[in-house]
Amino acid sequence: MHPYNRSRFLLARWSIYTILILTYMLVFFHRMAPAVISADLMKAFNTSGAALGSLAAMYFYIYTAMQIPAGVLADTLGARATITAGNLVAGGGSILFGLSESFFAVSAGRALVGLGVSVVFVGLFKSNSVWFRERNFGLISGLTLLLGNIGAIASAGPLAGVLRTYSWRYVFVALGLVTIALAVLTFAFVRNRPEDIGFPSMREIDGKASHPPRQQHWWGDLKSVVKTGAAWPVLWVDMGMVGGMLAFVGLWAIPFLRDVHGLGRSSAAIYTTTALAGFAVGSMLFGWFSDRMGRRKPVILAGTLLYTLACLILAYAPWKPGPAGLALFALLGFGTGGFIVTFANAKEVVAPALSGMAVGLVNTGLFFGAAVMQPLFGWAMDLAWDGRIVNGLRVYSAGDYHSGFLFMLTFAALSVVGASRIRETNCRNITVEN
């Protein structure tokens, strides 16, 4: 075992983790907030369902395109530089979003937010991969999603409460200023590796040789990750399951509960909050159970099956708001939480030095799914819409929403197929001797 000051090491590790997790909470807030302010945006910019879907999905378009570049940046420049720059861009985008007076400007603000936050998740997971032990990666990944989802939960019920007093514009300007403050903290305190501040690597602490660094230009490394066939099935899982869930809960769930079940914004937000809480708890438990079980594939497959069951009930069962409805939304989120194990699986089928690129590749599928699903859901509803408008808002029927649910079910089936084709790693990197 390599000698080191354990107390100083733990202080450094958890300080870095805390700063990055606070940033990640804001990533989730920005991702899910359009569901709560959907009516405000439709009124402010006089948009259709498809246009609102495109505005909300602007975040996902940019985020999707940036995931592989984010992986390259995480593996080359490290988490400190990439997340500092990302926070500065996202902070400026949030301020622009709040101050915009035109649909073009608000879309540009949303795009800048997506660009800025696109590097946070991959950078955070890259940081986790070097500051925590490999055998605990599923658990720490689950904890990361659990804490990150606090931001998503805040974007539902708590945001609805804040909007009773403050305009959505003030909220997003304030968020921009907080994000810029986090950029300063990231630059000041975050470090890419334990070795950067005089500590041994995690493997050296355990008496093992450190993993070898990257051996070639990043382009060659990226090509080797993309050519790794075992990395692709988990991409289909995240595209079909998490993409569908984020599209629904992050935009269309509240309008659905309003139009079909007659709930107000605050009451409807309780259901999306419940789904996000289920997602957070599911991520933690699935990650912990995978590490404890020593398996990846059966845990991921179980998550996709639970999620698909929830989608079927949502689309076809005669459920109503109340305890049954809350349980359904909790199941939807909980099943989706199984996705967290896909990142552990992805990093275990490529060389350890390329974990950022592997996570970025898999995350591309997740956000591509959401980017496609949000406007697709709205487009399907617009096709069946009967033209009814109440208080300046389009009102959709249960049949209109059912058209969107059919796309969700198709995506859910894709996730099950992907899960069934995952390569089992037994919770260890299969490319190196352990």
**Phi (first) and psi of residue 389, to 5 degrees:** -130, 135
Give the dihedral sign, CA 10/13/16/20: negative
Q: For residue 138, what pLDDT is reported?
A: 78
Average pLDDT on 382-403 reads: 75
Residue 2 pLDDT? 56
The span from the CA of 13 to the CA of 430, in Å, is 26
Across the range 94-123, mean pLDDT stands at 88
Q: For residues 80 and 156, which has the higher predicted lDDT (pLDDT)?
A: 80
Residue 411: the pLDDT is 93
Average of per-residue pLDDT across 93-102: 88
Rounded Cα distance, 373 and 370, in Å? 5
3-state secondary structure string across 308-359? HHHHHHHHHCCCCCCHHHHHHHHHHHHHHHHHHHHHHHHHCCCCHHHHHHHH
The pLDDT value recorded for residue 433 is 67
Question: Is residue 355 very low, low, confident or very high in pLDDT (cuts 50, 70, 90)?
Answer: confident
Sorted by where each starts, the structural domains of the chain and their CATH numbers stand as: 6-194+227-420 (1.20.1250.20)
Band of pLDDT at residue 319, cut at 50, 70 and 90: confident
Q: Please give the average per-residue pLDDT across 89-113, as a whole number.
A: 88
Name the token pair of 72.
Answer: 């390259």
Q: Confidence class of residue 214 from pLDDT cuts 50, 70 and 90?
A: low
Query: Span 391-398, mean pLDDT?
Result: 72
pLDDT score, position 382: 80
AA letter at 338: G
Q: For residue 414, what pLDDT is reported?
A: 94
User: Three-class SS of residue 64?
Assistant: helix
CA Rg, the chain, in Å? 21
pLDDT over 70 at 156, yes or no: no
| pLDDT (average), residues 369-395 | 77
The token pair at 286 is: 């699935």
pLDDT band at 306; cut points 50, 70, 90: very high
DSSP code of residue 282:
H
pLDDT at 273: 84
Q: How far is CA 203 from CA 28, 137, 182, in A?
A: 32, 13, 30
Question: What would the pLDDT profile of 261-290 be if each residue is shown by its tens digit?
Answer: 888 877 888 898 899 889 888 988 998 899
* The pLDDT of residue 155 is above 60: yes
pLDDT of residue 22: 92
Phi, psi for 263 (deg, rounded to 5): -85, 145
- Examine the pLDDT at 215 and tell me if it is beyond 80: no
